[in-house]
Amino acid sequence: MIRIITITIILLFILTSGCSLFIPMQKPVEPGNRLLLWLPGASSVQVLSDWNDWGGGVAAGGIVNPVSGRMEKDDNGLWTLDIAGLPGGVYRYAFYVNGYKWIRDPVNPETAVFEGRTVSIIMVAK
Amino acid sequence: MSISFMTMIILLAGGHDSLDVSIIPENWVFGYDCLIDASACGSWKNNHPVIDSTGIDAAVSVRAASPEVDFLVTGAMRSDSASRFLFRRARAVVKWPGTPWIAAGVYLNDQQPFIAGLANPVVEWGWVDIDSIQGFGLSSGGILGFRGDYLIQLTRGDTLTQLNVHSPWMGFAGVDYSRAQIHTADSAGGNMTVNVLSVRGDFRYFKPWLVVAGAEGEEGKWAVSAEIRKLRPIDTQWGRIEVVPGIHLAGDRIDFPGSAFVPGQRLITLGAFLESRRYFVSAGIKGMLDLESDSLSGVSASAGMISEGGVSWDVIFSYYADCDYRAFISSVTSDSNASAGIAVEIINDSTRVTGSVSYSPRDDVCAEVSVSGDLDNSLQPSCGLAVSAALGPVRGILGIDWEYDSSPILRINLTGLLK
């Protein structure tokens, strides 16, 4: 518990110090209905989700297809995937970076669990 | 026979370019792809690298489709300890002439059951072994925008039936109904039925989401989840704060094959989530009160941000009434070619710190080194090196992992989708 309190105090101190590292980056002018991830050094980023059988990882064979859910990278290091065509429902998803690393969407506050990993949730009404 | 079939598939796939165009019927579309996954794993022994295992998994898929039919065959050849060939997946669907939204199909290792809930699913992937599924089904759609399918399948001697009906968006609501049922071959074995009704609405000031699940035959096999969305006390151009009340109730005897419900839970939740429209920043906090046993009571919070200075922050914290807690804090600073980060993960009494640096000499190549250790006397250090490259549809990874008191493990993996 002491460690948690210490880390919390350090974080609060940094957060309240007004450091420029804590000014949030601006999103694209029209983000639209897209998933976004800023990761300029990655060699590849995919979105693995319930809607694409986790890239094929839960389908017969269990191999993650390197093309499934592949995001496109722009010159600023921003990876994007258009999800406008998703049917209504609740979906879990995660970013699959460089073919071996799972990370949740850092700017989506809602989380769930898939195979022991913390992943993100998106709810599509229509 | 297996080899000849594989040869046939490869010849058929490889012969695409040489097919006489005139023999392809009008309105037919042919396609094929080959998914290859090759890996080797080794260790460092007596000052020499030793390969311990290798495996090549190649799956060739051939598709043929017309307005009336849809064929898919995937054959796979796996070469690890013993080379073998197998049908991985097959599908043949016939559509009613003139009304393609009415169809009947035969499936092999396809159409796996999955039913979403709120956050976590009611029926999770892998409930039944996908490699064991075979059966046939009917599907229809287009009638007032509704679509549905019914499948009857065999899996390791048990009979699995699935019924899914999806409504169109009706202006203010959408409804999905799913039913999955297993009849075991053993008369003494337990049958299982899961019925799930999911309703999502969108009214002017709020969005109700409701999931009702139930099993047949016995009392206490029911569950309900409901959340109210779109309650936004603050909603500006900068962003919004959304308050989400919810309730999750379940009978004492549920045994649904997913993590959406816990037997006997009486859980009330209240969440508040900050999402920015203009900036890469978010935060959320969710409180859970278990009226039945306190075991699920607790609070969880998460926050994330990408700063103008190129630093990504990710914080997750969970604390439960039984004093279990977990915290994860990650910070990574990046520029176009390099990044460095540190992550701290605390699970009850253990704390693990991981530091990582990466360098990307070009857009499609990235090398990363990570070192981690526990913050206690045991330390349990480990480190890893991974070099990944993504060239179009082909991805390669070279990795070395080392943990304290064990030999380094070497990994090479190459995955590609060739069309």
Are B334 and A39 inside 8 Å of each other by CB?
yes
- Gap between the Cα atoms of B141 and B148, Å rounded: 6
pLDDT in tens, B66-77: 988 999 999 998
* CB B326 within 8 Å of CB B305: no
> HEC states along A76-92?
CCEEEEECCCCCCEEEE
Round to the nearest angstrom and report the end-to-end CA distance of chain A.
Answer: 44
Convert the pLDDT of each residue in B217-263 to its tens digit: 778 899 999 999 999 999 998 899 999 999 999 999 998 999 999 99
Which among B305, B309, B329 has CB closest to A7? B329
Least confident of B36-40, B44-48, B138-142: B44-48
Question: CA B32, CA B9: separation in Å to the nearest integer?
Answer: 10
How many angstroms separate the CA of residue B22 from the nearest CA in chain A?
Answer: 32
Q: In what order do the strands lie in the sheet with A78-82?
A: A34-38, A78-82, A72-73
Q: How far apart are CA A34 and CA A36, in angstroms?
A: 6
CB-based contact (8 Å) between B257 and chain A?
no
Q: Residue A44 is part of which domain span?
A: 2-124
Residues contacting B367, CB < 8 A, separation 6+: B358, B359, B360, B361, B385, B386, B387, B388
The vertex-B12 CA angle with B11 and B15, nearest 5°, equals 75
Q: What DSSP element (H or E) covers A48?
A: strand A45-49
Which H/E stretch holds residue A15? helix A2-16
pLDDT(A29) > 80: no
Helix H or strand E segment including A10? helix A2-16
Average per-residue pLDDT for chain B = 89
Q: What is the CATH number of the domain that holds A30?
A: 2.60.40.10
Cβ distance of A110 and B37 shorter than 8 Å: no
ipTM metric: 0.90
Partners of residue A21 in chain B, C-beta under 8 Å: 307, 309, 311
Q: Rounded to the nearest 5 degrees, what angle is found at the Cα of B35, between the Cα atoms of B13 and A104? A: 150
* Chain B residue numbers touching A32 (CB-CB < 8 A): none
Res. B12 pLDDT band, cuts 50 70 90: very low
A·B CB contacts under 8 A: 227
Which residues neighbour B8 within 8 Å (Cβ) at sequence distance 6 or greater?
Answer: none
Number of neighbouring beta carbons within 10 Å of residue A92: 24
How far apart, in whole angstroms, are the C-alpha atoms of residue B51 and residue B34? 26
Domain count of the fold of chain A: 1
Nearest partner of A58 among B113, B309, B308, judged by Cα: B113
User: Residue for token digits 């981690």?
Assistant: B372
B398, with CB counted inside 10 A (0-12, 13-18, 19+), is: middle
* Inter-chain CB proximity A3 and B346 less than 8 Å: yes
Global pTM exceeds 0.95: no
Please answer yes or no on whether A41 and B125 come within 8 Å at the CB atom.
no
